[in-house]
């Protein structure tokens, strides 16, 4: 049964409901309402953030961590806070918290990454990406989740989105926790929130980086094919605007995963109750490949693997036609523009 710890974590010591009294007392409140920031204003923000981050890093108990976290979150709750001030504050927090998310103390690292999520600002993206290198799965999950939530705000930030996708790909290739990997795939899939996302090549490259590592694991021992399911939507969406090189890799890995899933379906040790789930996964992979083939101006075979698996015949009688449909699909990918072997 898939663990859902990441969705039910209790945020340790974080206070998101800041009272108006607390806000009024915050020393940065006057700066946060300025439409334009002078150098001294930015200096005030950086100095205040440095001190607040230091307090969070030094906090030795839950109460002190809660107070330090509250102080870090308070300025963004300032009534009338301007975009300029929020951007500057997020930038300062990202610089200071980027190292804190990698601390050996779980409580410190987790509170730091939760502050970054609370900022809800594109300038926090680099620090959220840094959290993907934490030794704690919960911190890595929050880093990926934070980047996913920033999709709409990173839409026009090509450099930031490119850097985030590169780090997401690298992190996903090394990730061993299923829940975290799913969150990484969702963070890569900008298209779920930004249908007209323009950096398809960066998205495809991140996916291919993970797929390469996943393909090695597939041939090296036990392999959970369901883990990659969240990636297929992003693969289909990013294909058309990806470079030819990345397109070929996407087709290569998807065909490899599809062949593996079909082999699993007809393996003697595959539990019968797992077959419907596996058939659903095969359909998603096949549909993704067919979307890619169409995007490249080619025609896919009329007969589908999923159609053969959906027949009322016994698994034994489904095997020959299903494998034939698979081979016909793979035959298309052996031609231009993919030339897969």
201 touches 192 (CB < 8 A): no
**Residue 263: CB atoms within 10 Å:** 12
Confidence tier at 28 by pLDDT (50, 70, 90):
very high
What gap in Å lies between CA 174 and CA 169, rounded to an integer? Answer: 9
pLDDT given for residue 303 in this prediction: 96
124 touches 90 (CB < 8 A): yes
pLDDT at 99 over 80: yes
- If we measure between CA atoms, which residue out of 205, 81, 103, 94 comes closest to residue 147? 94
Kindly state the helix (H) or strand (E) to which residue 54 belongs, with its residue range.
Answer: helix 39-58
pTM of the prediction?
A: 0.90
Average pLDDT on 130-142 reads 97
Q: Determine the 3-state secondary structure of 42 from DSSP.
A: helix
Q: Which residue has the tokens 């026009």?
A: 156
pLDDT given for residue 18 in this prediction: 36
Per-residue pLDDT tens digits for 278-322: 999 999 999 999 999 999 999 999 999 999 999 888 888 999 999
Least confident of 32-36, 143-147, 217-221: 217-221
């Amino acid at each position: 049964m898939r663990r859902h710890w990441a969705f039910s974590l209790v945020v340790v010591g974080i206070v998101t409901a800041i009272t108006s009294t607390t806000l009024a007392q915050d020393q940065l409140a006057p700066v946060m309402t300025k439409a334009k920031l002078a150098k001294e204003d930015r200096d005030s923000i950086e100095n205040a953030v440095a001190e607040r981050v230091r307090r969070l890093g030094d906090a030795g108990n839950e109460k002190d961590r809660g107070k330090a976290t509250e102080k870090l979150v308070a300025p963004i709750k300032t009534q009338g806070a301007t975009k300029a001030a929020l951007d500057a504050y997020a930038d300062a927090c990202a610089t200071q918290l980027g190292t804190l998310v990698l601390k050996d103390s779980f409580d410190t690292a987790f509170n730091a990454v939760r502050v970054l999520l609370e900022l809800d600002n594109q300038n926090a993206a680099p620090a959220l990406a840094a959290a993907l290198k934490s030794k704690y799965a919960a911190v890595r999950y929050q880093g990926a989740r934070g980047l996913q939530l920033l999709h709409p705000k990173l839409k026009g930030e090509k450099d930031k989105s490119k850097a985030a996708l590169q780090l997401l790909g690298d992190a996903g290739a090394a990730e061993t926790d299923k829940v975290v990997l799913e969150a990484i795939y969702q963070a890569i899939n900008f298209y779920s929130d930004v249908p007209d996302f323009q950096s398809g090549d960066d998205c495809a490259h991140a996916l291919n980086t993970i797929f390469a590592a996943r393909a090695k694991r597939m041939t090296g021992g036990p392999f959970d094919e369901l883990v990659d399911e969240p990636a297929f939507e992003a693969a289909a969406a990013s294909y058309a605007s990806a470079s030819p090189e990345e397109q070929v890799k996407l087709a290569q890995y998807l065909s490899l995963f599809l062949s593996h899933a079909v082999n699993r379906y007809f393996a003697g040790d595959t539990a019968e109750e797992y077959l419907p789930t596996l058939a659903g996964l095969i359909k998603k992979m096949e549909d993704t490949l067919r979307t890619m083939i169409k995007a490249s101006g080619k025609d896919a075979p009329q007969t589908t693997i999923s159609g053969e698996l959906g027949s009322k015949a016994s698994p034994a009688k489904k095997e020959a036609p299903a494998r034939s449909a698979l081979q016909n699909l793979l035959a298309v990918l052996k031609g231009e523009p993919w030339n897969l072997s």
